[in-house]
Amino acid sequence: MKKLTGVPVSKGIAIGKALLFLDADFPEIPRFRIESNQIDEEWARFLAAVNEVKENVKSLRGVQESGAGERDDILNAHLLMLEDVEFHAQIKKQLEDNLENIEGAVWGVGHEFYQMLMASPVSYLRERAVDIADVTKQILNILLNIKKYSLADLTEDVIVVTRELPPSEAVAMNKRHVKALVMGAGSQTSHTAILAKAFEIPAVFGISAIVEEVAQDDTLIVDGDVGEVIIKPTAKKIEKYREIIAQASEKKHGQEALRDLPAETMDGYRVILNANIEFPDEVEQALRYGAEGIGLYRSEFLFLNTGHVGEEEQFQAYASVLKAMEGKPVTIRTIDVGGDKIPLNFRTIEEKNPLLGLRAIRFSLAHPELFKAQLRAILRASVFGVVKIMFPMISGLTELEEALSMLEEAKKECRKKRQAFSNNIDVGCMIEIPAAAVIADILAEKSKFFSLGANDLVQYSLAVDRNNEQVGNLSQPFHPAILRLIKKTIDDAHSAGIKVAMCGELAGDPAAAPVLLGLGLDEFSMSASQIPLVKQIIRKANSEKCRALAKKILTRKSAKEVEILMKEEDSQS
């Protein structure tokens, strides 16, 4: 028996047989000279291969299943790459300049694009390099007439073990038979990770030697909760994990029974539990887990895979979410790009410190036409439900006033075009920069609500890049400075008569729920699957005891002291 540790990507535990999937490697590329009179013939072969890949991609879209929204966004991104004018032009130029067979030109250009994106300091662009490689492989396989084994053809339950799974394979795999996914590469924000979460398949990534350590048909235990993979477990270990799986299933059923019950403490203190979403199709899952609204709709994901998205497309996406929520509130965060999230058509922008650069509200204010198009789309969609608008990364009053001014301009433009919109739209801002927390009393004068972005608040307060593994241990949400900033924000907001939500990872942390209750948080917004567990904890809590705990915690001098106190209180409850 051997235990390997990686990055937990998608929660859940699975026991099963390993399927070593090594079909994702690049094929061997034959390279030979051609005559100039063969260029048209080679180019025709390329176009035919591209069309065949496009048809394959299109055939996968539109199938209604869990995770369909994430799947279709990835497929649409691949279609855009297949139709990219620059990609085609570079391949044709290489074909004509080098007088080499089309396979060599496709590989050369695909590799060049891949290397360019992989060299980027921006993690999002490095992950998109995987898509370039995926599309290039698919074209080459058709040109070379290579028939690859596909995970779509699975007929029995397996745990897929691979170095790297291209998004096209993740999209097409037979979800009924893939019980878990283990990869040597990959990150929590890769396309394959997004799909694993959407399909609710346990997944552990980042175990570099996994394909060398595992043999075909080895029995594996994959623990996506903690990021562990156990190879050839003993009968005793298997039995132990089967008991854990059974307990988790029983617990899940118990939590599902709470779906329609309020998030209310034993002594009657009521809070709101909302879901975070990235794609419209996630609404179904949010409602299934009992979300009372959408606390964070990350609108930038409409832009990231496809580049520019027009007003009409945005309007359709926002309207579909509002209709599906049937009167439950939907908080749309205006485009939060920059830093590690850059739309394809802005990918040439280079900044020395992108996380401190032109991102979020700064990006929107620097691109007023793009910003107003988004605001008009939200306004027009508002007639289909209860919408709130939230501005990200506000650092001071001037930014907030400029954003509000843009909103007023967008309203005037809608009126001029006789486009209806609701007159009861609450507008608020995210508190995710220390400066915003310090002047929360000032920002509250111009806001209808606040939403604490805990992830960035930790990052900017403690000067810790949350994507940098070398300083990951310094990213401490229970650091006294963070807790004091949260408390000040809540107190200032309540003094001004407005409510405070939280939409970072801390809001979905069950251990943090009693503390946040005690600090006075009004709304929690999290991944939909976290809602039942957090609700269960809240319904067992006593608000007076939570306030007493928070008061004690605010006197502690380090994150370690806070965590020790939390554990002591938990063991006594």
Spatial contact of 29 and 246, defined as CB atoms under 8 Å apart = no
What is 154-173 written as a DSSP string?
A: --S-EEEEES---HHHHHHS
Which of 78, 191, 429, 479 is the catalytic position?
191
Does 546 participate in catalysis according to the annotation? Answer: no
Measured distance CA(35)–CA(15) in Å, rounded: 56
> For 350-361, what is the HEC assignment?
CCCCHHHCCCCH
Spatial contact of 524 and 289, defined as CB atoms under 8 Å apart = no
Does 191 participate in catalysis according to the annotation? Answer: yes
Measured distance CA(218)–CA(151) in Å, rounded: 18
Question: Terminus-to-terminus CA distance in the chain, angstroms?
Answer: 37
Which of 414, 429, 479, 503 is the catalytic position?
503
SS3 at position 89: helix
Alpha-carbon dihedral 173, 178, 184, 185, rounded to 10 degrees? 50
CA distances from 358 to 354, 363, 365, 366 (A): 7, 5, 10, 8
C-alpha 107: how far from chain center = 30
Question: How many CB atoms are closer than 10 A to CB 387?
Answer: 26
Phi–psi pair at 216, nearest 5 degrees: -55, 130
Q: Beta strand 2-5 with 228-231: parallel, antiparallel or unpaired? A: antiparallel
Alpha-carbon dihedral 278, 282, 288, 289, rounded to 10 degrees? -20
Can you read off the two tokens belonging to residue 534?
Answer: 């957090």
Phi–psi pair at 261, nearest 5 degrees: -90, 150
Residues designated as active site: 191, 503
